[in-house]
Structure 1
Amino acid sequence: MLYAILKLIYKIGLWIFFRRFEVHNRHLMPDGGPLLVVSNHPNTFMDPIVTASLLRQPVYFIAKSTVFGSDFQNWMLRQMHLIPIHRREDNPGKPVSNEEAFSASFEALRQYKTLLIFPEGNSFNQRRLRKVKTGTARIALGAEATGVKGLKILPVGLNYSAPTRFHSDVFVNVGEPILVADYATAHRQDGQEAVLALTEEIRKRLEQLIIHTPTDEEDEMARQVEAIYKERLAAAAPSDIPAHIQDFLLTKAIVSGINYFSQREPERVAALKEKLSSYMLQLRRLRLKDEIMGLRRKTVLWRSVLRVLYLALGLPVYAYGLLHNYLPYIIPSKVARAATREHEWYAPIMLTAGIFTFPLFYLLEAWLAQELLHLSWSWTAVYFLTLPLSGFFTLHYWNTLQHTQEHWLLLRLFVKRRALVKSLRLQREEIMAELEAAKEEYLAQANRGLQ
């Protein structure tokens, strides 16, 4: 019962927290077990919330034993379907036994339940898949050996645009299920070899479903290339592909291209990286973004005028929304920063706190309005509906204000520092030309490989 209530609350919270929540191949998600769901783990507590919200059936979670504590805490966590598992890093120097967790997992799978496992073990806010541990394969093959039939492993890739930021995007990429029975014969012949083979298959499947940048340096370069070049790539891409899938595939292609040239022409990549870093640093110092550097002066001026008009007309609604939504919006952020210094925990803490702050504040504001203004129930309901709507408008207004400031900064540079703008645009054109040439070489090589 507690699980069902929390799932409903969090599903509503996810709809509000994320600007876009896209799912690819949702039809591959079975409606029942026995099922092991495996996923990458970039965003701590947010990852199980996102994944479990997409499955119709109840989900049981394999969690590190350190989250368990007092008897009441243990009872609460078990009501939320958590199964503790012990890790060597949690108890250094002590023998580790997961017999209880494995037995509980086998029993759950025998009852056709669904288990969610993050085979990397720990959560890190990175666009890569770390080492996949063997626990998932051991549970799967062990369950198969004890008579669990039809067991599948469902790989799920979680891709966040900005894991710790409110109103960011998440793209959930669902892969083809792995049939554990395909490894049963090999497991009977050589258990350890079968575990390693299944673990490697899980790794490969997950790596295909996410943006995987091998190092922080390559990830930084990939983000810079995305900022400058992705829009041009998207313009040349097939128009019949949904935008969220196209965005994912383009980023994968950029990462693949960087990896390709890093192995074959590292000096060329290093030179391009230096140009990108220098250009981006200059933009940061000027408080500008690349997306407006490719616009003509008249376009910047025209857009600025339209946005100023929008800001002027929308100011009263913005003030209304800010007055009613500032505290419930800012409190979750303050709570997250007070509760932890680990950025990976910001988003789930903000989501959890916001689930309570917004409804409570809205109810309090509606009650005060009714008491102080003597509103009827119908007018109180109308007033209540304006609170979340004005909140969304306020967020959009603020983002528009930020973009307008960037446009005015650029216009100011056009007037006072024209040589600097010209220099930045020349740098941008040079970088774009190099990226275009690299793309043509990469595609030509790929085509030769297919012939």
Structure 2
Amino acid sequence: MYCRQLRVSHSAYFSLEGPLLIASNHPNSFLDAIVFSVLFKRPVHSLARGDAFKNKWLASILRSLNMLPVYRSSEGVQNMDYNYSTFDKCKEIFKNKGIVLIFSEGRCINEWHLRSLKKGTARLALSSWQDGIDLTVLPTGVNYQSFSVFGKNIHINFGSEIKKEEMGEEMGFGKSLLFFNQKLQAQLEPLVYELNKEDKGTLAQTFEMHVPAYQKLLLFMPAFIGYCCHLPLYLPLKMIAKKYGHKNDHYDSILFGLLFTCYPFYLLLGGVLINEFTEGSWWMIILLLPFCAWSFMRLKKQF
């Protein structure tokens, strides 16, 4: 229900087996990793910012979601050595025909723009090839209609696979890093949309999904019910997400996480209350709420 439309350039890639390194842009915090984990048939292990693993409780949750820490120099030079351990774990995943997702820009920023690439993707790919791993690198661009509303349209564009053979003749590790990043940057540029957030017309032209008139007619009443019934859940969670995420580009992901966690309990509470004040099986009407929420998502204003 958090996604209205998902458009993919080559859906066959979701069936790929490893060793595979997905090299993606990073516009929307941990929601990016969740999207790939849901779509790929095999488990996807993603690299996440190291400071998120400082809290042991949160770290255990992240690791259970197949996330591994990678540190930037801004998070403390003393932590950089942990990256070698993470890369070793990635290589073990590759050797077992697994999939790793890395965000080649490094930092997450809510924008429609491809930033300069960090060296982490190149280091992991080159060192894996040096260790004799037949790794494939898959350039991927993920583009969101919005970073502040639920019911968004998401476009995922895949580039051409990068193999070891494309690196050419031996040129030294430093030059190989530069050559790899240039190749990856050239692949990602047409996959990541370059849009001005103030240009609503172009945004609508790029992302807006047409809803047929008959759907608007059929779904109007369920959508209205969905809006009214879910507002008591959505509004407080939206306030919490704004409090903790509006200044750090994590708002959208925090809101998704809160809705994903709280919604089953919200439905359970609704079922209990209906059962308490009615007789028979009227509580089962609560099972229609997800459909009503989906109906509202289909009809709500996109821009």
User: Normalised by the shorter chain, which TM-score bucket?
Assistant: 0.7 to 0.9
Structure 1 position 114 matched with structure 2 position 99:
yes
Query: SS of the counterpart of 1:123?
Result: coil
Residue of structure 2 aligned with 1:77, choices 28, 38, 62: 62
CA contact (8 A) 2:242 2:251 kept: yes
Cα deviation, residue 315, structure 1: 7.5
Structure 1 position 226 matched with structure 2 position 207:
no
CA contact (8 A) 1:154 1:178 kept: yes
Distance 2:12 2:280 in 1: 48
Paired position in structure 1 for 2:187: 205
Structure 1 position 326 matched with structure 2 position 253:
no
Q: Radius of gyration: which is bigger?
A: 1
Q: Which amino acid aligns with 1:140?
A: A
Cα deviation, residue 133, structure 1: 1.1
Paired position in structure 1 for 2:140: 156
Structure 1 position 352 matched with structure 2 position 257:
yes
CA contact (8 A) 1:123 1:344 kept: yes
Residue of structure 2 aligned with 1:50, choices 35, 41, 44: 35
Q: Which amino acid aligns with 2:179?
A: A
Query: SS of the counterpart of 1:209?
Result: coil
CA contact (8 A) 2:226 2:296 kept: yes
Q: Relative to 1, partners in 2 of residues 1:328 and 1:203: Cα closer, same or farther, differing over 3 Å?
A: same
Unaligned runs of 5+ in 1: 1-15, 214-218, 231-246, 249-305, 404-451
Q: Which has the higher contact order (CA 8 A, sep 6+)?
A: 2
Q: Relative to 1, partners in 2 of residues 1:398 and 1:182: Cα closer, same or farther, differing over 3 Å?
A: closer
Structure 1 position 147 matched with structure 2 position 100:
no
Distance 1:120 1:26 in 2: 24
Cα deviation, residue 67, structure 1: 1.2
Query: SS of the counterpart of 1:45?
Result: helix
Q: Relative to 1, partners in 2 of residues 1:399 and 1:341: Cα closer, same or farther, differing over 3 Å?
A: closer
Paired position in structure 2 for 1:196: 178
Identity value in percent: 25
Paired position in structure 1 for 2:289: 387
Structure 1 position 32 matched with structure 2 position 17:
yes
Q: Which amino acid aligns with 2:250?
A: W
Paired position in structure 1 for 2:275: 370
CA contact (8 A) 1:29 1:174 kept: no
Paired position in structure 1 for 2:242: 337
Q: Relative to 1, partners in 2 of residues 1:360 and 1:65: Cα closer, same or farther, differing over 3 Å?
A: same
Q: Once the two structures are superposed, what CA deviation does each residue of 1:269-326 show, in whole Å capped at 9, x if it has no partner?
A: xxxxxxxxxxxxxxxxxxxxxxxxxxxxxxxxxxxxx9xxx8xxx68983x4444222
Cα deviation, residue 334, structure 1: 1.8
Paired position in structure 2 for 1:101: 86
> How large is the RMSD of aligned CA atoms in angstroms?
2.9
Distance 2:15 2:269 in 1: 42
Distance 1:26 1:315 in 2: 34
Query: SS of the counterpart of 2:276?
Result: helix
TM-score scaled to structure 2, two decimals?
A: 0.85
Paired position in structure 2 for 1:176: 160
Q: Once the two structures are superposed, what CA deviation does each residue of 1:195-240 show, in whole Å capped at 9, x if it has no partner?
A: 2111111111111111125xxxxx257x255279x5xxxxxxxxxx
Q: Relative to 1, partners in 2 of residues 1:117 and 1:369: Cα closer, same or farther, differing over 3 Å?
A: same
Q: Which amino acid aligns with 2:283?
A: T
Distance 1:315 1:29 in 2: 36
CA contact (8 A) 1:35 1:115 kept: yes
Distance 2:89 2:227 in 1: 49
Paired position in structure 2 for 1:425: none
Aligned residues: 293
CA contact (8 A) 1:32 1:112 kept: yes
Query: SS of the counterpart of 1:391?
Result: helix
Distance 2:260 2:72 in 1: 32
Q: Relative to 1, partners in 2 of residues 1:339 and 1:111: Cα closer, same or farther, differing over 3 Å?
A: same
Q: Which amino acid aligns with 2:237?
A: P
Q: Which amino acid aligns with 2:87?
A: F
Paired position in structure 2 for 1:429: none
Q: Which structure: greater helix fraction?
A: 1
CA contact (8 A) 1:42 1:125 kept: yes
TM-score scaled to structure 1, two decimals?
A: 0.59
Q: Which amino acid aligns with 1:226?
A: T
Q: Relative to 1, partners in 2 of residues 1:69 and 1:178: Cα closer, same or farther, differing over 3 Å?
A: same
Cα deviation, residue 104, structure 1: 2.0
Distance 2:228 2:202 in 1: 37
Q: Which amino acid aligns with 2:137?
A: I
Q: Once the two structures are superposed, what CA deviation does each residue of 1:114-169 show, in whole Å capped at 9, x if it has no partner?
A: 110001110111111111012111111111111112x1001111111112211121
Query: SS of the counterpart of 2:121?
Result: helix
Q: Once the two structures are superposed, what CA deviation does each residue of 1:69-124 show, in whole Å capped at 9, x if it has no partner?
A: 244443333222222222112126x5833322222222222222111000111011
Unaligned runs of 5+ in 2: 208-212
CA contact (8 A) 2:19 2:97 kept: yes
Q: Relative to 1, partners in 2 of residues 1:176 and 1:324: Cα closer, same or farther, differing over 3 Å?
A: same
